[in-house]
Structure formats: C-alpha cells, structure tokens
C-alpha cells in the first residue's frame, strides 16, 4: 500500500508512521528526515533546505519533489511506502500521483491527523529524538526510561532546532495542509480525518481501521 500522513507540525505523523510502517511491512519515508540527513551530511541540498527550515517555511516544491522521487525510486520502496510529511502542497500531491501512476501504483488513502494548536505547542516544546534510530519521545507523556537516553539504542537524545517556540509558531502559521490539497484528496474519496488528540495507541487503532477500510474498498 501507499499511504500518506497529512497534518500540521507536531500532530504525531512521525510517531504513527513508524508504527504503521512496522505493522504493514512498508517503508517509512519522511521528507523532514531526508532534509535533516542532508543538513548533517553538509550537502548543497542540506544547506539550501536549512535556510527554509530555520525560518519555519516549506522548502520549495522542485527541490522537495526531486529529493523524494530519488528516494522512492530505490528498490526498498517498491512494495509500499508510508509518506510522512509529503505532500504538503497541491503541486506535490499531483506530482506524487503522476509518479506512482507511472509505476502502476496509487495513493490508497490520505490520512489527515488533526490536533488543537495549544496541544501541538505543548508537545513540541518537550519533544526529544534519538539521532541514531529516530525514536521519538515527549518529556511529559512519553518519556524515555532513563532521562535523556534512547530506550532502543542507548544514545543521547536531542531536541530539534526548529522546535524553538518562535519557529514552532512560524511552522504552525505557514505549514498547515492547504485547503486546495485537502479538497483534491477529498474530491477523490481518499481523505480520512483522524483525531490525533487521543492517546497514541488510540490514534494507531483509528489509523489501522481506516487503512483496513481502504484495503477493502480497493479490493472490491
């Protein structure tokens, strides 16, 4: 299956994409992670993306689309992808449909996670990540067993540069899924709204139920 997780920053897309990809045996592809890796490697793409990420803005479509397509052309992406943070514009959505159609595939469901803004700000101010395995923690609600250390690999946890309150506010202002993109998926009966303000397990349960529904619809 090819599924996309949509939603403003901090709604739990990364948390849920990791779980669902594991459950379905699909590849988790997060454009934010691809950009952060490019920044870490000191590449030209990373330097260009960083300017936008530091301001809480979207990286331009042409750069983002090329980078994503390079990733999904690789062999490990051929049996299904959970797209996390892509698409974010109508142009990206249309480009993805075209690319998948060229491979005889399609987006099976667009899962749109929503959470009130004050809860998003609270979550992001306490988010910690493992720089090695990508595990995601939240200091109040999902803390690691040992303070500052990853439960899975023992590495020291880090905070993201763009989780500073001023950048979070900019991201919330500039990075909500645009109505025209939501309407695009809604018009094709592929959009499903998910209440992301519930406990993580309940969000996973609702996502898996909707994925099951999409699978049944496709096979009929």
- In the complex, the residues that contact ligand AP5 under the rule CB under 6 A are 7, 9-15, 30-32, 35, 52-53, 57-59, 64, 85-88, 92, 123-124, 127, 136-138, 141-142, 162, 171, 175, 196, 199-200, 203
Query: Does 122 qualify as catalytic in the annotation?
Result: no
Residue nearest to ligand AP5 (CB): 32
The distance of closest approach from Cβ of residue 59 to ligand AP5 in the complex, given in angstroms and rounded to an integer, is 4
Which CB atom, from 104 or from 110, has the smaller least distance to ligand AP5? 110
Calpha distance 41→24 (Å, rounded):
30
Closest CB to ligand AP5 among 112 and 123? 123
* Residue number with CB closer to ligand AP5 (87 or 109): 87
Nearer to ligand AP5, 48 or 215 (CB): 48
CA distance 18 to 56: 23
CB of 41 to ligand AP5, least distance (A): 15
* Catalytic residue status for 171: yes
Q: Which two tokens stand for residue 112?
A: 């749109």
Out of 55, 105, 160, 164, the active site residue is: 160
Catalytic residue among 18, 36, 88, 123: 88
Half-sphere exposure of 41 (CA within 13 A, CB side): 12
**Rg (Cα) of the chain, in Å, rounded?**
17
Q: Is 13 a catalytic residue?
A: yes
Question: How many other CB atoms are there within 10 angstroms of residue 124's CB atom?
Answer: 21
**Bridge partners for 195 per DSSP:** 114
DSSP states of 6-54 as a string? E-STTSSHHHHHHHHHHHHT-EEEEHHHHHHHHHHHT-HHHHHHHHHHH
Supply the minimum distance, in Å, between the C-beta of residue 203 and ligand AP5. Answer: 5
Q: Which residues are catalytic?
A: 13, 88, 127, 160, 171
């Amino acid at each position: 299956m090819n599924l996309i997780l949509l939603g403003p920053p901090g709604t739990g897309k990364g948390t849920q994409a990791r779980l669902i990809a594991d459950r379905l045996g699909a590849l988790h592809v997060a454009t934010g992670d691809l950009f952060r890796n490019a920044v870490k490697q000191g590449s030209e793409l990373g330097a260009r993306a960083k300017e936008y990420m530091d301001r809480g803005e979207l990286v331009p479509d042409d750069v983002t689309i090329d980078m994503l397509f390079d990733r999904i052309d690789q062999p490990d992406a051929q049996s299904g992808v959970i797209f996390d943070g892509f698409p974010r514009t109508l142009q990206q959505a249309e480009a993805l449909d075209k690319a998948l159609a060229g491979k005889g595939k399609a987006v099976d469901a667009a899962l749109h996670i929503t959470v009130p803004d004050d809860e998003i700000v609270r979550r992001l101010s306490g988010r910690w990540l493992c720089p090695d395995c990508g595990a995601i923690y939240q200091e109040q609600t999902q803390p690691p067993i040992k303070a500052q250390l990853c439960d899975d690999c023992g590495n020291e946890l880090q905070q993201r540069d763009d989780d500073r309150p001023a950048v979070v506010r900019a991201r919330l202002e500039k990075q909500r899924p645009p109505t025209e993109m939501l309407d695009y998926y809604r018009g094709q009966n592929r959009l499903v709204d998910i209440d992301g303000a519930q406990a993580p397990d309940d969000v996973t349960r609702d996502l898996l139920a909707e994925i099951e529904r999409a699978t049944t619809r496709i096979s009929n």
